[in-house]
C-alpha cells in the first residue's frame, strides 16, 4: 500500500508539473497575463453589465455560465486557434454524425453579412447590447455586445492554415471587442496586430475585391458572444466546406438573395465561378438556385455588367445590420 501511495503521489506531481509547464508556456512565460485574468472573470459570471438589453423569447434558454471544460476550451481556442481549427475541420467534423454536426453548429456558427454591414460594424459610433434572437436562428452564442469605437485586431485565418494549399494573405480574420482583442494580442503577438478603423475598412475592401465574403462568428466558449468578422474564401473556409460537404448548418444566411437582370447579363460566367455556395449557373444567362444562395453579395461586385443586386427576402432570415440595431436601441 505504501508503495502504491508513493507511486500515486509521484504521478500526481508529474502531472502537476506538466500542467504548470503547459500553462506557463500558454501564458508566454507568465503565471497569469492580464487578458487571462479578465477572461476568467467573464467566464465565471455573466454580470448584469454584460447582459443583453432584451431578454430572450419564451422558451429560449440563456447561455449558461461556462463550466470548467468550456472555460478550458475557450482558452485553448483563443491561445492555439490554428491547431484547434485544424483538428476540428480535419479530424472531428468528418467523423461526426449529421446530428452531431447540427449540435456543433448550435454552439459554433456564423452569420453571413454584406459588405456594407461589415463596414457598419467597424464604423460603429454607438454602443450596442442586443440579444440576436431573431437574427441568429440558434439558441446559443448570439449576443452582440459592442462599445464604440470598436476594438479590432487582425488575426491569422485558421481555416486557411488548416489547408495544405491555401489562399493568401492569411492575416485576414478580424477579432472584435476589448476582451477577445486583448487576449489575442497578448497570447498571439507574432500572428496578430491591432487595427485602426481605417486599416480594418481597407482590409474589408481588399478581401471583398478578391471575391471573398464576410461573416460574423459566435461561439459559446467565447462567452456566448459575437467575437469575430471572418473574410472567407470559398476554397478554404471551414464553415462553407462543412455546409457543402456535410450539410452542416454552420452559417446562417444574410437575409438577402441575388437578383439577376437577364437583360443586362452577358452570360460570361464570372459570377458562377465566384459564388462560394455554387448558387449560380449559366443557361443563356445566369440562373440562381434560391436554396443555395446565402446572400453574401460576392457576385454583385464581380459582375462587370452590373446585372446582379441583392434583394431582401424574409424567407432567408433577418440581416445583421448594426445600423438598424442602433436605431432600435436608441428608440
Q: Note down the domain range covering 326.
A: 17-45+66-253+319-330
Tell me: do 247 and 266 sit in the same domain. no
Torsion 148-158-36-191 (CA) sign: negative
Tell me: do 103 and 151 sit in the same domain. yes
Average pLDDT over residues 67-79: 90
Average pLDDT over residues 51-77: 65
Tell me: do 236 and 282 sit in the same domain. no
List pLDDT tens digits, range 188-232.
988 999 999 999 999 999 999 999 999 999 999 988 899 999 999
Tell me: do 224 and 260 sit in the same domain. no
Residue 4 maps to a domain:
no
Q: Kindly report the CATH number assigned to the domain that includes residue 275.
A: 3.30.70.20
C-alpha cell at 85: 481549427
Show the 3-state SS of the chain: CHHHHHHHHHHHHHHHHHHHHHHHHHCCCCCCCHHHHHHHHHHHCCCHHHCCCCCCCCCCCCCCCCCHHHHHHHHHHHHCHHHHHHHHHHHHHHHCCHHHHHHHHHHEEEEEECHHHHHHHHCCCCCEEEECCCCCCCCCCCEEEECCCCCEEEECCHHHHCCCCCCCCCCCEEEECHHHHHHHHHHCHHHEEECCHHHHHHHHHHHHHCCCEEEEEEEHHHCCEEEEEEEECCCCCHHHHHHHHHCCCCEECCCEEEEECCCCCCCCCHHHHHCCCCCEEECCCEEECCCCCCCCCHHHHHCCCCCEEEEECHHHCCCCCHHHHHHHHHC
Tell me: do 260 and 249 sit in the same domain. no
Residue 3 maps to a domain:
no
The confidence score (pLDDT) of residue 66 equals 65
Residue 184 maps to a domain:
yes
Q: For all residues of the chain together, what is the average pLDDT?
A: 89
List pLDDT tens digits, range 163-191.
888 889 999 999 999 999 999 999 998 89
Tell me: do 102 and 234 sit in the same domain. yes
Tell me: do 200 and 271 sit in the same domain. no
Tell me: do 143 and 222 sit in the same domain. yes
The confidence score (pLDDT) of residue 87 equals 96
This prediction's pTM: 0.88
The confidence score (pLDDT) of residue 284 equals 87
Tell me: do 163 and 239 sit in the same domain. yes
Of 88-92, 138-142, 197-201, 307-311, the poorest mean pLDDT is in 138-142
Distance CA(320)–CA(293), nearest Å, equals 17
Q: Is the pLDDT of residue 61 over 60?
A: no
Tell me: do 24 and 117 sit in the same domain. yes
Name the nearest CA neighbour of 240 among 138, 141, 321, 159. Answer: 159
The confidence score (pLDDT) of residue 64 equals 52
The confidence score (pLDDT) of residue 68 equals 83
Average pLDDT over residues 148-169: 93
List pLDDT tens digits, range 231-243.
999 999 999 999 9
Tell me: do 190 and 217 sit in the same domain. yes
Residue 131 maps to a domain:
yes
Structural domain count of the chain: 2
Tell me: do 188 and 105 sit in the same domain. yes
Residue 247 maps to a domain:
yes
Residue 52 maps to a domain:
no
Amino acid at each position: 500500500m505504501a508503495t502504491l501511495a508513493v507511486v500515486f503521489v509521484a504521478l500526481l506531481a508529474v502531472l502537476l508539473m506538466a500542467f504548470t509547464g503547459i500553462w506557463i508556456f500558454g501564458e508566454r512565460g507568465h503565471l497569469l497575463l492580464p487578458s487571462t485574468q479578465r477572461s476568467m472573470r467573464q467566464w465565471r459570471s455573466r454580470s448584469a453589465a454584460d447582459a443583453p438589453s432584451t431578454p430572450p423569447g419564451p422558451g429560449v434558454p440563456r447561455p449558461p455560465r461556462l463550466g470548467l471544460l468550456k472555460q478550458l476550451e475557450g482558452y485553448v481556442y483563443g491561445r492555439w486557434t490554428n491547431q484547434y481549427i485544424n483538428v476540428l475541420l480535419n479530424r472531428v467534423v468528418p467523423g461526426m454524425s449529421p446530428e452531431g454536426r447540427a449540435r456543433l453548429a448550435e454552439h459554433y456558427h456564423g452569420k453571413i453579412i454584406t459588405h456594407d454591414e461589415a463596414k457598419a460594424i467597424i464604423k460603429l459610433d454607438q454602443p450596442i447590447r442586443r440579444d440576436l434572437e431573431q437574427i441568429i436562428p440558434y439558441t446559443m452564442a448570439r449576443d452582440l455586445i459592442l462599445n464604440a469605437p470598436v476594438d479590432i485586431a487582425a488575426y491569422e485565418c485558421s481555416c486557411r492554415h488548416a489547408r495544405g494549399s491555401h489562399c493568401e494573405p492569411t492575416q485576414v480574420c478580424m477579432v472584435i471587442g476589448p476582451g477577445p482583442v486583448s487576449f489575442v494580442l497578448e497570447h498571439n503577438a507574432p500572428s496578430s496586430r491591432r487595427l485602426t478603423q481605417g486599416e480594418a475598412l481597407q482590409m474589408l475592401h481588399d478581401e471583398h475585391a478578391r471575391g471573398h465574403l464576410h461573416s460574423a462568428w459566435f461561439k459559446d466558449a467565447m462567452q456566448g458572444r459575437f467575437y469575430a468578422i471572418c473574410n472567407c474564401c470559398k476554397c478554404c473556409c471551414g464553415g462553407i466546406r462543412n455546409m457543402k460537404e456535410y450539410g452542416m448548418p454552420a452559417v446562417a444566411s444574410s437575409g438577402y438573395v441575388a437578383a439577376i437582370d437577364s437583360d443586362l447579363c452577358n452570360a460570361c460566367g464570372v459570377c458562377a465561378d465566384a459564388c462560394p455556395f455554387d448558387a449560380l449557373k449559366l443557361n443563356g444567362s445566369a440562373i440562381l438556385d434560391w436554396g443555395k444562395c446565402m446572400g453574401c453579395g460576392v457576385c454583385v461586385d464581380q459582375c462587370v455588367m452590373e446585372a446582379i443586386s441583392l434583394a431582401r427576402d424574409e424567407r432567408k432570415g433577418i440581416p445583421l445590420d448594426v445600423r438598424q440595431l442602433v436605431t432600435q436601441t436608441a428608440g
